[in-house]
Structure 1
Amino acid sequence: MAKVVLSVALPAFKYEAMYAGSAKNLVASSLDGRKVQLPLTAFQRFVTHQGINGVFEVEFDDMNKLIGVTQLR
């Protein structure tokens, strides 16, 4: 299993683009410099009125399929 840690600061108005159909993925750089692309739906439970903010650990299986996202802080 692979894990990456991301710092995400996505304002609410950008997250709303997913509902409008113009955005489906979050592209971010991990803290160790790797670029990852994830479905915005994986972060849905972390959305607040300010958007998505925090440090997240993202876990993948051996086939690089998303297993889950955990908020660290």
Structure 2
Amino acid sequence: MRRAFFTLHISAAEMLRYYRGSAATVAVTAEDGTRLRFPAANLRRFVSAEGVHGRFEVRFDEANRLLSIERR
């Protein structure tokens, strides 16, 4: 299992774009330089009134399929 860490700051207003469907994926650059793209729906449990903020760990398998995202 592979993993990568990244920091994310998405405002509440920007998160509305994801809920409305005008944006479906999130693209970030991990701390090690790896570029990641994943469905925005994976962030729903981290949304607060301020949006989504924090440092996250993403785990994925050898085929680069997303396994989990956790706030760290």
TM-score for both structures, normalised by structure 1:
0.93
TM-score for both structures, normalised by structure 2:
0.94
- Superposition CA RMSD, Å: 0.7
Q: 53-62 or 12-21, which moves further after superposition?
A: 12-21
2:17 maps to what in 1?
17
| Pairwise CA distance, 1:33 | 1.2
1:31 maps to what in 2?
31
Identity %: 29
Instruction: Output one character per residue of 1:12-69: Cα deviation in whole Å (capped at 9) or x when no partner.
Output: 1111101211001111110111111111111110000010000000000111110000
How many residue pairs match? The answer is: 72
**Stretches of 4+ moved more than 2 A in 1?**
none
- Return the alpha-carbon distance in structure 1 between the equivalents of residues 12 and 38 of structure 2: 17
Unpaired runs of at least 5, structure 2: none
